[in-house]
A and B are shown apart, each in its own frame.
Chain A
Amino acid sequence: MKKFILQRFFLALLTLLGITIIVFSLMHLAPGDPVTTIAGRETDPKIVAAIREEWGFDQPVVIQYFTWLSKALRGDFGMSFINRMNVVELIGTRLPYTLKLNLVASVIGLAIAFPVGIIAAVKKYSLFDYISTFLALLSQSMPSFWLSLMMISFFTARLGLLPSSGSETWKHYIMPATVLGTTWAAGLTRMIRSSMMEVLTEDYVRTARAKGLKESVVVYRHALRNAMVPIATSLAYWIAYLVTGSVIVEVIFALPGIGRLMISSLNNRDYFVVQAVILLTSSAVLVANLAVDVLYVVIDPRIRYD
C-alpha cells in the first residue's frame, strides 16, 4: 500500500511536469516577442530589458523553461504589468470570489445530485426516474451561458428580484451559483443513478434484503457505500467542471473571480496570469485525483494494488 501511494505520487509528479511544459509553451505560441507581450503597455526599454534578463528570454527555450519552472516552484509567477501587481497577489485578491461561488454551487449540486440520483435508482423506471433522468440530460445539454442569460431576463428584467451583475451582496451569488450547481448536478445525478442501479442488482443487496434489513440500511449502508467508488472518481473532476463553469458564469454575472481574470488576461495577452491560473487549477485537479486514488483503499478495502 505504501508502495502504491508512492507510485501514484511519482506518476502525479510526472503529469505535473508535463503540465508545466504545456503551460510554459503557451507564451511561445503567440506570435511576436513574448517579452513585449508580457510587458504590455509598459514600453520603458529599461523595464523591458529587465524582464528579458530576469526570465532569461535572451537564452535558449530550454533554459527559459527551467528559469520559469524554478521560479514557479518557489511561488514566483511574475508580474502582471497590466494590473501592476504581483501575479500571486493578484490571484489572491480574486480567489475568494471564485471559492465562495464554487462552495455555494457545490452545496447546491450535491444537495440535488445525491437524493435525486439515489431515489431514481431505487425506484428505477418509475415516473420520478424518467422525469429526473430527462431533466438531468436536458440540463447537461443546456449551455450554461444561455441558462444564465435566460435567468437574467427572467429574474432581473421581468421580476426585478435579483441583481444581474456584481458581487456586493449574497443576492449576487444566487443566480451564478444556481447555474453552476445545477449544471454540475446534472452529470453527477446520472452518474450516481447508474452506479447505484448497478450495485442494487448485486447478490449481497438481495442477501441483505432477504435478511429482513430495513430498506434504508440496505440502500445507504450496503448499496451506496459500494457505489461510491465510481462516484468518487467523478467527484475528483469536480474542480475541473466548476472552474470551467466559473469562467463563463463570472464573465456573465461580472463576478471578479479567477475565471473573469483569466478571460481579461487572455484578452490583454497577460500571459503570466494565464499560466498561473491554468497551473493552479490543473494542480488542484491533480491533487484531487491523487486524493481519490488513495481514498479508494479506504472506501473499498477489496482494491489491491501491485
Chain B
Amino acid sequence: MKVYIDENSASKLPDDLEMELITDSESATGFKGSWARFKKHKLAVVSMVMVLLLLLMAILAPVLAPYDPDENRPLERLAKPSLAHPFGQDHLGRDILSRVIWGSRVSLSVGFIAGSLSLVVGVVLGALAGYYGGWVDNVIMRIAEIFVTIPQFLLVIAVVAALGPSLNNLMIVIGLTSWNGYARQVRAKVMQIKQLDYIEAAQALGCDDKRIIFKHILPNAVVPIIVMATLNIASVIILESSLTFLGFGAQPPQSTWGSILNEGRTYILRAPHISTYPGLAIMLTVLSFNLMGDGLRDALDPKMKI
C-alpha cells in the first residue's frame, strides 16, 4: 500500500507562526530560551563541564603533571599502575599520567586549529555558492562532491605521507578536507535567507555583496555553524589520533594521545595499561564534544539535521 504525504504539511509553516502557538519558557527564543533548553539536557551540561575541564587541564599541564613527561626511568620500564604512577609507566619508564596530561595540549589544539581552518574554508565557500548561485555554485558543489567521494581518511593519509609526516601537515590537510559539512549547511541557509525582503532592502540601499553576506546573512547561520564546529572537533580529534597512531602525525619527541598508543601497541600483550589510558582520554574528549554538540543542536535549533 502506498501512502501519499502532503509536501506542504505543518512542517512548512513559517517559523514565527509556530512560535506564537507555543508560549512556555522552554520554547522562548533568544539566549534565555536556548539556555533553558540546553540545561534540560543533563548529559550536555555534564559534557560542557567536561570540555571546560579538559581545556583547563591542557592549559595547566605544567602545573598538573606530577612528573616530567619525557623523563626516562629505565629501571621502572613497563611498571604497572601504582600510587606513585596512577596510570603506570611506559617502555622507557616515563609517567603515563603526565604524558596523557601533556598530550591533551596537542590533541586539543589540533582539534581547534584544524577545526577552525575547515570552518573558515567551508563557510566562505558555502556563502559564495549560496549567494551567487549559478556557475559559482556549480563549481564549488562539484569540488565538494569530489571531497565527499574520496574517503577522507585515505586522502589525508596519502597527502600527509607525500608531504612528509608532521603535525602541521596533518592539521592543514585535515582542515582542507573537512569543510564539506559547513559548506553545505551555510549554502542552504544563505539560499534561504537571500530571498527575504530585508536582503533586497539592503541591496536597494547599495550595500556591497561582502557586507550583505557577512553582516546580513551569515549571522543567521551562526547556530548550525556552532553545532557543526563542536561535532567537527570531535571527528578531527579521532582522525588525528588515528593517523598519529599509524605513524603519520606527530613525530617523536612530540607526543599526542595517538602516539602514546602507537608506542604502547608493541607492548599490548605485556603492558596493556600504556594503551588503556590515552585511549580513554581520547574517548572521553570525543564523547564530551559529541554530547555537547547534540545538546547545542537540540537547544538552539531542534529542527536542524546534521
Q: What residues of chain A have their CB less than 8 Å away from a CB belonging to chain B? A: 11, 14-15, 18-19, 22-23, 26-27, 29-31, 137-138, 140-146, 149-150, 152-153, 156-157, 164, 202-204, 207-208, 221-222, 226, 239-240, 243-244, 247-248, 251-252, 262-263, 266-267, 269, 271, 274, 277-278, 281-282, 285-286, 289, 301-302
User: B36 in the interface, Cβ–Cβ < 8 Å?
Assistant: no
Could you say which residues of chain B place their CB within 8 Å of the CB of A140? 290
**Bound complex: CA A146 to CA B155 (Å):** 22
Asked, given contacts A143-B238, A143-B282, A251-B246, whether A302 binds B5 with beta carbons under 8 Å apart, the answer is yes
Contact string, B199-241, partner A, CB cutoff 8 A, digits 1/0? Answer: 0000000000000000000000000000000000010001001
Stretch at the interface among B81-89, B110-118, B120-128, B138-146: B138-146
Could you say which residues of chain A place their CB within 8 Å of the CB of B255? none
Determine whether the beta carbon of B5 is less than 8 Å from that of A149: no
Determine whether the beta carbon of B146 is less than 8 Å from that of A149: no
CB distance from B268 to the nearest CB of A (A): 5
Asked, given contacts A152-B268, A202-B5, whether A141 binds B286 with beta carbons under 8 Å apart, the answer is yes
User: B275 in the interface, Cβ–Cβ < 8 Å?
Assistant: yes
Determine whether the beta carbon of A22 is less than 8 Å from that of B154: no
CB distance from B71 to the nearest CB of A (A): 25
Could you say which residues of chain B place their CB within 8 Å of the CB of A244? 151-154
Could you say which residues of chain A place their CB within 8 Å of the CB of B157? 247, 262-263, 266
Majority secondary structure, B binding face: helix
Stretch at the interface among B14-22, B51-59, B96-104, B159-167: B159-167
Determine whether the beta carbon of B269 is less than 8 Å from that of A157: yes
CB distance from A284 to the nearest CB of B (A): 9
Contacts A/B (CB < 8 Å), 20 sampled: A15-B142, A30-B163, A138-B283, A141-B287, A142-B279, A143-B238, A145-B241, A146-B261, A149-B264, A153-B268, A157-B272, A207-B3, A226-B3, A244-B152, A248-B245, A252-B265, A262-B154, A274-B161, A282-B150, A289-B149
CB distance from A54 to the nearest CB of B (A): 22
Could you say which residues of chain B place their CB within 8 Å of the CB of A156? 269
User: B135 in the interface, Cβ–Cβ < 8 Å?
Assistant: no
CB distance from A189 to the nearest CB of B (A): 14
Determine whether the beta carbon of B163 is less than 8 Å from that of A243: no
**Bound complex: CA A6 to CA B253 (Å):** 54
User: B9 in the interface, Cβ–Cβ < 8 Å?
Assistant: yes
Q: In this complex, what residue of A is CB-closest to B284?
A: A141
User: B254 in the interface, Cβ–Cβ < 8 Å?
Assistant: no
User: B2 in the interface, Cβ–Cβ < 8 Å?
Assistant: yes
Q: In this complex, what residue of A is CB-closest to B2?
A: A301
**Bound complex: CA A286 to CA B142 (Å):** 13
Asked, given contacts A274-B158, A281-B151, whether A143 binds B283 with beta carbons under 8 Å apart, the answer is yes
Count of B interface residues, CB-CB < 8 Å: 50
Determine whether the beta carbon of B234 is less than 8 Å from that of A141: yes
Q: What residues of chain B have their CB less than 8 Å away from a CB belonging to chain A? A: 1-5, 7, 9, 142-143, 145-146, 149-155, 157-159, 161-164, 234, 238, 241-242, 245-248, 261, 264-265, 268-270, 272, 275-276, 279, 282-283, 286-287, 290-291, 294
Determine whether the beta carbon of A29 is less than 8 Å from that of B162: yes
**Bound complex: CA A230 to CA B282 (Å):** 30
Could you say which residues of chain A place their CB within 8 Å of the CB of B159? 26, 29
Determine whether the beta carbon of A266 is less than 8 Å from that of B242: no
CB distance from B48 to the nearest CB of A (A): 15
Q: In this complex, what residue of A is CB-closest to B7?
A: A302
Q: Closest 7 CB pairs between A and B?
A: A146-B279, A153-B272, A141-B287, A244-B153, A141-B286, A29-B162, A18-B146
Could you say which residues of chain A place their CB within 8 Å of the CB of B150? 19, 22-23, 278, 282, 285
Determine whether the beta carbon of B242 is less than 8 Å from that of A150: no
Apart from A204-B4, A207-B3, what 4 extra A-B contacts exist at CB < 8 Å? A19-B150, A22-B150, A145-B241, A244-B152
**Bound complex: CA A15 to CA B148 (Å):** 10
**Bound complex: CA A277 to CA B158 (Å):** 11
Determine whether the beta carbon of B149 is less than 8 Å from that of A150: no
CB distance from B250 to the nearest CB of A (A): 15
Q: In this complex, what residue of B is CB-closest to A153?
A: B272
**Bound complex: CA A145 to CA B153 (Å):** 14
Determine whether the beta carbon of B142 is less than 8 Å from that of A146: no
Could you say which residues of chain B place their CB within 8 Å of the CB of A143? 238, 241-242, 245, 261, 279, 282-283, 286
Determine whether the beta carbon of A137 is less than 8 Å from that of B272: no
Could you say which residues of chain B place their CB within 8 Å of the CB of A26? 158-159, 162
Could you say which residues of chain A place their CB within 8 Å of the CB of B270? 157
Determine whether the beta carbon of A240 is less than 8 Å from that of B283: no
* B155, B161, B164, B265: residue with the most chain A Cβ atoms closer than 10 Å: B161
Contact of A152 among B145, B149, B269, B290 (CB under 8 A): B269
Could you say which residues of chain B place their CB within 8 Å of the CB of A153? 268-269, 272, 275-276
* A153, A226, A244: residue with the most chain B Cβ atoms closer than 10 Å: A153
Could you say which residues of chain B place their CB within 8 Å of the CB of A157? 268-270, 272
CB distance from A32 to the nearest CB of B (A): 10
Determine whether the beta carbon of B245 is less than 8 Å from that of A145: yes
